[in-house]
Amino acid sequence: MNISKESVMSPKGDITLYTLTNSSGAQVVLSSLGAGINKIIVPDKNGKMADVILGYENPCDYDNDGPCSGKTPGRYANRIKHGRITVEGKEYSLPVNNGPNHLHGGPEGFQNKIWDSSIVGDSVVFTRVSPDGEMGYPGRLKATVTYTWDDNNQLTISYKAVTDAPTFVNLTNHAYFNLSGHDAGSVLNHHLRLNCSRYLPTDPSEAPLGNIDPVAGTPMDFTSPKAIGRDINEDFEALKIGKGYDHCYVVDGWEKGRLSEVATLTDPVSGRTLTISSTQPGAQVYTGNWLTGSPKGKGGVEYHDYDLVAIECQGFPDAPNQPAFPSQLLTPGETYRQTIIYSFGF
């Protein structure tokens, strides 16, 4: 594995970019801004290479971008209703930055911070310490994100966090995929299969209602492969709320700490496939319903709604306020550990 690095100046300080190139020439480019992925370049069925994730021409444009492209949102990915959490009987207020809700750790969440970084063997390791009270969260939290790219075009992301006081943690990766290439237009012809027979319905603000519903007999069903766009315009409340898919799916048979296959995405044009595995209990599927107006993409491309799809393996949104959901509470002496694996093929 060859790993090179360079620095880019930004208003927040120097951003470090890492390029990981495997034996076949397939590449991943990582950034210390948001501990994120800027590029994934993999072959199609004919051996043609293409970059298959949303990204920007200017590495500085990832700061405070609306899509949160490729980055590590935190301290808590996804929504917390009304920005309220209670820890050991004490209520904390978090900044509201998505309608009435707190999203992705707030406006200065982990995704908009420059992380410390280093090369360790064949991996790149990003680390940051979130001070007590940052974005309203209690406890000093140390988070580590490790990326490992291999010769089988498999990207493994390992998350670890420790705290000195009870706090809530939910880390994921927010990459958007188009297996025809990031600049190829609509992703609605891609076929998606989810190992998820249930999902979390939401209120109009997209915060979970608290119940877990079956997908069977609804347009939310991806238990068998189907085109993403097949049912996206159906007269169904969940799809009308989000202008498409933007819901957390519940991973079937989830057990804490156990790695399992979550999703398979297939592009019938290029033949590329993406298999996603994770230890996380949920997967937020977001069909890029509000991508129009994003910063100018790589090569000067302009992104439009439904051009890419995110499949974010994570804990459930609003779990701090939903006792029936798997807990995301981290206490001193415990270590938060999660894994996501993106496996590319054709």
Q: Which residues are catalytic?
A: 174, 312
Half-sphere exposure of 206 (CA within 13 A, CB side): 21
Residue found under tokens 């989830």: 254
Can the peptide bond before residue 75 be classed as cis, meaning omega within 30 degrees of 0?
A: yes
DSSP 248-303: EEEPTT--TT--EEEEEEE-TTT--EEEEEES-SEEEEE--TT-TTPPPBGGGPPP
C-alpha 346/C-alpha 343 separation (Å) is 10
Q: In sequence order, which residues have a C-beta less than 8 Å from that of residue 295 and are 6 or more positions away?
A: 56, 57, 58, 61, 65
Tell me if 228 sits within 8 A of 309, measured CB to CB.
Answer: yes
